[in-house]
Amino acid sequence: MKSKLSSEKKDTEEKRFETKFFNYLKENTNLSAGSINEYVKILNRFVLFYGVKNVCATQEINKFIIALQEKRIYTAKYAFRHFFDMIGRPELYQKLKKGIKIKPRKKLGIYLGKDDMKNIIKNIPDTKYKLFAEIQYETGLRFRDLSSLMAENIITDKDGSVKIYVVTKGEKEKITYLTNTQKKLKMFAKGKKGLIFYDNTVGYSANYMRYYRNLVYAAELVGHPAFRSHDFRRNLAEDLIRIGKDMRDVKNVLGHKHISTTERYFKYSPIQVKDVLKEVRT
């Protein structure tokens, strides 16, 4: 009986911890709903393995962060930074290690012409996810950047151009512009909970698996079954280079911190190198 009461007390303590951190992130940061949920899950995971008493033990936290990085989960350090701010101990963040560098997985992108991508979008059955794909095609935003887009983050400038403000991977703030989809986007501006892409099925922001199924269905219809969400981003990068933009322009459009990240989107063949040299030296 005593053991059961002790277990219930522990569960209650962990639940209070979770609620407090969730409310802090929601009220004191500009994080997307997806990032907030992810950070809360990370802290919960740490507490499950190490206990509430070790939430300031930087040695244990460093072990935990590296273990997650080995599984390609890189957001734990950001979660702890916000947690340390919440408890008034920001200096602890400086004691966290930078972690380990893992070579990125090689993903062969699917590069299509504009007409093929527009046909994929045209065949997406769900209206909201069709608009989601259109904005990805237009801006190159990642799924997670766009999924928690709020109505308040759609801004019309004095010149009539429409920009959207998002918090991207690594908590970087980014502003991008719409050129063709602004009118359609305004149709959904009064979504539930202020979310543009509110999904009634899951009761929250856009659901990746529902979008994935819609996109794969459409891609298979037009003969490109391997096309995925991130390929909109790869194709935008390729198109920018094709029209003569340099790598710095592509980096800024995609919102990368380092140009080396942008360079991973491109793979030159010997024939391409030969053609480039021939063009500038003959």
Q: How confident is the model over 138-169, as pLDDT tens digits? A: 989 888 888 877 777 888 888 777 888 777 76
Residues 77 and 126 grouped into a single domain: no
Residues 71 and 159 grouped into a single domain: no
pLDDT band at 2 (very low <50, low <70, confident <90, very high): very low
Residues 132 and 89 grouped into a single domain: no
Q: What is the DSSP string of 43-68?
A: HHHHHHHH-GGGTT-HHHHHHHHHHH
CA dist., res. 60 & res. 86, Å (int): 19
Q: What is the CATH number of the domain that holds 175?
A: 1.10.443.10
The answer to the question of residue 109 being in a domain is no
Closest CA to 220 of 110, 133, 123, 125: 123
Residues 57 and 192 grouped into a single domain: no
The pLDDT, as a whole number, for residue 5 is: 42
pTM of the model: 0.61
Residues 176 and 52 grouped into a single domain: no
Domain of 66, in residue numbers: 2-95
Between residues 229 and 202, which one has the greater pLDDT?
229
The answer to the question of residue 104 being in a domain is no
Boundary-marking domain end, from 29, 64, 95: 95
